[in-house]
Amino acid sequence: MSDPKVEKEAGSTEPAQAPAPEPEKKKREYKDFGHDEDDKPTHAKVDMSQIQLKAEDLYDKEKVDLETIVVDDVFKLLQCDENGLTDEEAARRLELFGPNKLESEEQNPFLQFLSFMWNPLSWVMEAAALVAIALSNGEHRPPDWEDFVGIVTLLLINSAIGFYEERNAGNAVKALMDSLAPKAKVKRAGQWREIESSYLVPGDMISFKIGDIVPADCRLTEAINVSIDQAALTGESLPQSKKLGDQCFSGSTCKQGEAEGVVISTGPNTFFGRAANLVGQDDDTTGHLQKILAQIGSFCLVVIGIFVLAEIFCLYAGFRYSYRRGLDNILVLLIGGIPIAMPTVLSVTLAVGAQQLAKYKAIVTRITAIEELAAVTILCSDKTGTLTTNKLTIDRDTIRTYGPFSAEDVILLAAYASRTENQDAIDQCVVGAIGDPARARAGIKLLDFKPFNPVDKRTEITYLEESSGKLKRVTKGMTGIIIELCTRNKTEELESRLEADVEEFAQRGLRALAVAYEEVDGTDPEGEGNGFELIGLLAIFDPPREDTKQTIDDALALGVKVKMVTGDQLAIAKETGRRLGLGDHMYPAKVLKDGPEPGSRFRSLDEMILDADGFAGVFPEHKYEIVKRLQALGHLCAMTGDGANDAPALSRANVGIAVEGATDAARSAADIVLTEPGLSTIVHAIRGSRIIFQRMRNYAIYACAVTIRIVVCFSILAFAFKFDFPPFMVLIIALLNDGTIMTLSVDRVLPSNSPDSWDLAEIFAFAVAYGLYLTLSTIALVAIIIRTTWFYDKFGVTLHNGAHQATDHNDPQLHMIVYLQVAIISQALIFVTRSHGFFFMERPSVALFAAFCIAQLVSSIIAAYGNWGFTNIQAISGGWIGIVWIWDIVWFFPLDLIKFAMKATIIKSLRARHQAALAAQTAESGVPMTRTTSRAASVHESLYSNRVSFLRRAARKVGFGQKISMKPEELQRFSSIQAARTGSVLARHPSRPTA
């Protein structure tokens, strides 16, 4: 069941009776799927005793075709033989090549914690704390301990949440390292022994058998009926038969047989190790949420910086303020202007969202991935085990029958000819097709069984049928072999039909399994039968999961395009795509290197990648490259997978999703781990993430508006009225606001039907409009209180010492009135930013409304009873509290009108300009561009480095000095390049003198 083409000459099965020549019939080729004849091994065309090969020699196929050189030449290249290395030589090579394991670096937890306090938002918090404790001295006043403690507390809370998130994220490289086989059987100095696999070196002779994990990349020197499962590494759904000279990858599992091989690559240079290094590879992306934080932070910093400078010049140079008085005003801007709790609020929102997603069996290992999942435009999905079940199945709809037996009879007879214990993948799927495995031996008595072997390529059973007492024989195997055995009822028409069926199966990516049957005369189970008759052809494939098609349809409805990226062969990928409604515009991985063919409808590789429904035959670097190119086109990519081979792309993708049953390596590289089979959970996760995104967007508008509102308002009050607001009261406003806003994490919002994106221009535009309006509401109130006696005349309220108006612009009761007015209307703004229509049309969550009520109750109590000696405030009467509440309510209602006016004018103009720029870019490049914020650059992005991308630090780069360079696209030649690279190192450090 593994040989490719079998040529046979059709003709009579009887001995020739006469010498009369007959016309020669055409040779038939049964083109079974995916088994082309391997190229014959060749010898190197140079003297292999001269090991001093240079890189250009190793790539020169005229001298050494590294893909096909015989094992003998590999031995010469690696300076070893079948007796293995000596202990001394092994120790020398261990020093030379390093241990056969993946190294990871540990980071000091304390330094890791401190690293969260190193970004511009934190710098402003720290600067405000320093101003409060260090600079606020002099003029016979103590340092501002109250502000200092409050600021430091918020800073520590924010850092603690980030630190906790990072320390709990899985370490992908460690999981990959743990997947390596811990022990290995190795021949040293002619003696077999068991050692730690980390001590293996290139040139070692190793041995492994059924159930073992291959400890290092090797070329086989002996192979007895070997079958290797490398699905977790390459994505191939079937175990691969291996023969002498083939390569086995480190981390793959031996499913059948025994083998010996020579190690050609260890540790970071194995196929497995390269995957690990890709996971830990530095990339040029900053976490998406970090980019948004960077730009919001920059916006707030610019606003604060402008007004701090203005205050320094105006208050000190113009008004000749004393040192402490001016510093208090600046402190108000620093504390109130920066959204100091933004990282904390967003982290809590994401953490609560992660708990909600857990109800849908999605475990979030990097909480910022939730925000990115809401913006995902393309889902790159692995096939084997993700879109499909990774269990071979008989496709009942395509079974072909050629004799008197029905399709179900053919399956049952094929099950007779299968093992019921110690099964290989084919036997397991055939027996599984009959439902109850006991039926495979029910009603028959087993007399003789011949298991599959690479020479005969078939299985055979001879049995006694208990109901009739007859001896019968069934065989199943590769089509060409089985039809060669058949002598009964074999006609030209039958062979033509069989040839067409096999070719159809191959084109559809289905593996053909032929079944033949004969009866045996007498009672001798080894006796001759009456001749095999072909009775059926079974189609074997890896079926899609039951819910996958619906999941893909749901994803498309949410505006997310799905692309299949698989290590399996092109025909299989196309067939799976057709069955899932995914499409069959799929291409082999080589197009990623060669680009579109001349004359094709694609002008560039990027255009082809965007149009493709999938790619087949890809290796880890290909998956990584596809994701990287899509990201370069402005798309946010999610990647699903289940094997170690998916880990690099899972790590590179904006959102890596490990499906149920994934390997530890895939789970650790992923951002979201599914604990239920299939992809349906992803749709729930996308919807859930869009709800969470809406909550964060609402908060972002609110936070920026409050920055404008605080900074502009108190600067104008200082310039116009020499109004000195107490810094501690701004801290109280911030604490109450942020405490309330935490409940946004459970607010009621509706998800969008298209991918979300951060349009910061819109957010800032809304923020400026709301902020300036709220500023006006406060300045108007203060101006009336200072300039007129209107409130005393109408309501009989007075200020400190019975004053009818605030002749003292820093009246402690006026400070309290301003505190209450700012606290109430600033927090009420959230009800406007969270709604798309009128605020009363979209009901908030009970938690948000209750938190608002409690916060305003606290603010009102502070206003009524807050006679605090350490800050310049004094309690106000109930009359003033009522006046402030009514004032805020009157100013609150027009906020909705401002929102609608902004949408009809400025926001509409911004979106039109955005679409025009997108159209111009598409016309110029010919490739549709999706301009997400991940393309927007910020000068501060690097300062908001992705806190959970610690994978970069975890993978240690291991180099051999002047390594042979290898482009990622050349991984198909990986085995040869490994051997060549190892040989070149040994050439520079020979164990024997060169001739």
Active-site option among 144, 217, 382, 427 = 382
**Running DSSP on this structure, what letter comes out for residue 390?**
S
Closest among 569, 476, 552 to 515, alpha carbons compared? 476
Can you read off the two tokens belonging to residue 708? Answer: 């404008």
341 vs 80, 345, 576, 834, CA distance in Å?
A: 63, 6, 48, 18
CA–CA dist 948, 168 (Å, integer): 10
Render 718-780 in DSSP notation, one character per residue: HHHH-----HHHHHHHHHHHHHHHGGGGG---PPPSS-----HHHHHHHHHHHHHHHHHHHHH
Residues 132 and 727: beta-carbon distance below 8 Å: yes
Q: For the chain, what's the residue count?
A: 995
CA–CA dist 43, 64 (Å, integer): 8
Burial class (CB in 10 A: 0-12, 13-18, 19+), 339: buried
**Cβ atoms within 10 Å of 235's Cβ, excluding its own:** 28
Distance of CA 156 to the CA centre of its chain: 30
417 vs 450, 454, 938, CA distance in Å?
A: 9, 16, 66
963 vs 56, 91, 905, 980, 988, CA distance in Å?
A: 12, 21, 60, 10, 11
Residues 624 and 652: beta-carbon distance below 8 Å: yes
Residue with tokens 């046979």: 8
Q: Which residues pair with 240 in a beta bridge?
A: 228
Closest among 627, 548, 625, 542 to 581, alpha carbons compared? 548
Can you list the positions of beta strands (E) in 302-457? 362-364, 378-381, 393-394, 400-401, 444-450
CA dihedral 681, 684, 688, 693 (to 10 degrees): 90
Distance of CA 110 to the CA centre of its chain: 28
Closest among 216, 221, 305, 328 to 266, alpha carbons compared? 216
Can you read off the two tokens belonging to residue 195? Answer: 């050692």
3-state secondary structure 757-773: CCCHHHHHHHHHHHHHH
Closest among 814, 706, 819, 820 to 770, alpha carbons compared? 706
Q: Is the dihedral of CA 137, 141, 143, 149 positive or negative?
A: negative
Alpha helices in 338-406 (DSSP H): 342-358, 368-375
Can you list the positions of beta strands (E) in 499-605? 511-520, 533-541, 561-565, 586-588
Residues 259 and 290: beta-carbon distance below 8 Å: no
Residues 376 and 558: beta-carbon distance below 8 Å: no
Quick one: the chain helix, strand, coil %, rounded to 5? 50, 15, 35
**382 carries an active-site annotation:** yes
576: three-class secondary structure by DSSP? helix
Greatest CA separation found in the chain?
A: 136
Residues with Cβ within 8 Å of residue 542, at least 6 apart in sequence: 237, 383, 384, 388, 389, 390, 391, 392, 393, 568, 572, 576
CA–CA dist 353, 363 (Å, integer): 11
Residues marked active site are found at: 382
